[in-house]
């Protein structure tokens, strides 16, 4: 029997690239999911099974997990990829938008874990791969709430890895840098929606928008979605997967710089990077 891989958020970007890559393997049965099934209908041509799954809807999550368990006994690999960005300063951003972000990025992820674990424990095996971000290790201005959601994913994954190890379940974090998906455009849109055009943070918001646009356009600082899909495939197949996979050279450099040089030096770097007119 093949191993069942359930991927959330497969309509675009990392989730779609992962579904396409894993569906090529004969030893895996890939269940690609999205809130709107029509957005992933074409993935059936790759060999993936397509399902509706909204990580903010309990019935939808239960139905998807029950479908996989009915056909395979247990979810063999859960790839928690679904999520959304909410950018804006801490003062200006509407907290209802922040709550909605945490529903998808944190609580939806946690609920998916809760739903797949009983059958995984009974099978005494399984893998949970949580897609975090380099933003779960470092923080950029005007992104505090998004980073907070990814820091939460990091903490949950660290606890989960220890709790589930006795049952043969392995947990890995995927920490991409800038990936050329629709994420940058959505982040810029949420930033524009949160910012007061003539408010006290206008210069910072303009700088943040400029920095994001420049870095997402750069082929040096950003990578295509398949760069992440390759690493997720490695985490799925490895006998002893790593606890963390930091993806892209720029992400590794930034994470190490922040770790080694501390907050003051990193803040100085950010002050230079986000200076007005930069």
Structure confidence by residue, pLDDT tens digits, 246-266: 999 999 999 999 999 999 999
Q: What is the pTM of this model?
A: 0.93
Say whether pLDDT at 278 is over 80.
no
Residue 44's CB is within 10 A of a number of other CB atoms, namely 12
- Locus of tokens 């999520």: 83
The dihedrals phi and psi of 137, each to the nearest 5 degrees, come to -120, -25
Instruction: Work out the average pLDDT over 211-239.
Output: 90
**Share of residues in the chain with pLDDT > 90 (%):** 79
- Quick check: is 132 catalytic? yes
Q: Annotated catalytic residue: which of 10, 84, 104, 132?
A: 132
Strand partners, 179: 223
All domains of the chain, ordered by start, with CATH? Answer: 3-273 (3.40.50.720)
CB 60 within 8 A of CB 53: yes
Q: Annotated catalytic residue: which of 31, 146, 216, 274?
A: 146
Better-predicted residue by pLDDT, 154 or 213? 154
- Sign of torsion, CA 147 150 154 159? positive
Structure confidence by residue, pLDDT tens digits, 126-147: 999 999 999 999 999 999 999 9
Query: For position 194, what pLDDT does the model report?
Result: 65
Query: For position 187, what pLDDT does the model report?
Result: 55
Instruction: Work out the average pLDDT over 180-186.
Output: 69
Say whether pLDDT at 177 is over 70.
yes
Cα separation, 53 vs 225, in Å, equals 21
Q: Annotated catalytic residue: which of 11, 149, 157, 222?
A: 11
Q: Annotated catalytic residue: which of 150, 151, 216, 245?
A: 150
- Quick check: is 146 catalytic? yes
Query: For position 247, what pLDDT does the model report?
Result: 95
Cα separation, 186 vs 131, in Å, equals 18
Query: For position 259, what pLDDT does the model report?
Result: 92
């Amino acid at each position: 029997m093949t191993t069942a891989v359930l991927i959330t958020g497969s309509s675009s970007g990392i989730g779609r690239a992962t579904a396409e890559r894993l569906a090529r393997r004969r030893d895996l049965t890939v269940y690609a999911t999205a809130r709107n099934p029509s957005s992933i209908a074409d993935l059936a041509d790759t060999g993936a099974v397509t399902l509706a799954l909204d990580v903010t809807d309990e019935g939808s999550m239960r139905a998807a997990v029950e479908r996989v368990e009915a056909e395979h006994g247990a979810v063999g690999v859960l790839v928690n990829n679904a999520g959304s960005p909410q950018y804006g300063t801490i003062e200006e951003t509407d907290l209802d938008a922040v709550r909605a972000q945490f529903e998808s990025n944190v609580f939806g992820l946690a609920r998916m874990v809760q739903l797949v674990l009983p059958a995984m424990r009974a099978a005494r095996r399984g893998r949970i791969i949580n897609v975090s971000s380099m933003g779960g290790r470092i923080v950029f201005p005007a992104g505090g709430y998004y980073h907070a959601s990814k820091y939460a994913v990091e903490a949950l994954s660290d606890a989960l890895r220890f709790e589930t190890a006795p049952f043969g379940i392995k947990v890995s974090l995927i920490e991409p840098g800038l990936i050329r998906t629709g994420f940058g455009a959505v982040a810029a849109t949420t930033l524009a929606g949160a910012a007061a055009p003539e408010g006290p943070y206008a210069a910072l918001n303009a700088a943040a928008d400029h920095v994001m646009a420049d870095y997402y356009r750069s082929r040096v600082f950003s990578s295509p979605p398949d760069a992440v899909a390759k690493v997720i495939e490695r985490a799925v197949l490895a006998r002893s997967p790593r606890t963390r996979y930091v993806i892209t050279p720029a992400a590794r450099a930034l994470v190490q710089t922040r770790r080694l040089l501390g907050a003051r030096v990193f803040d100085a770097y950010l002050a230079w990077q986000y200076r007005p007119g930069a």
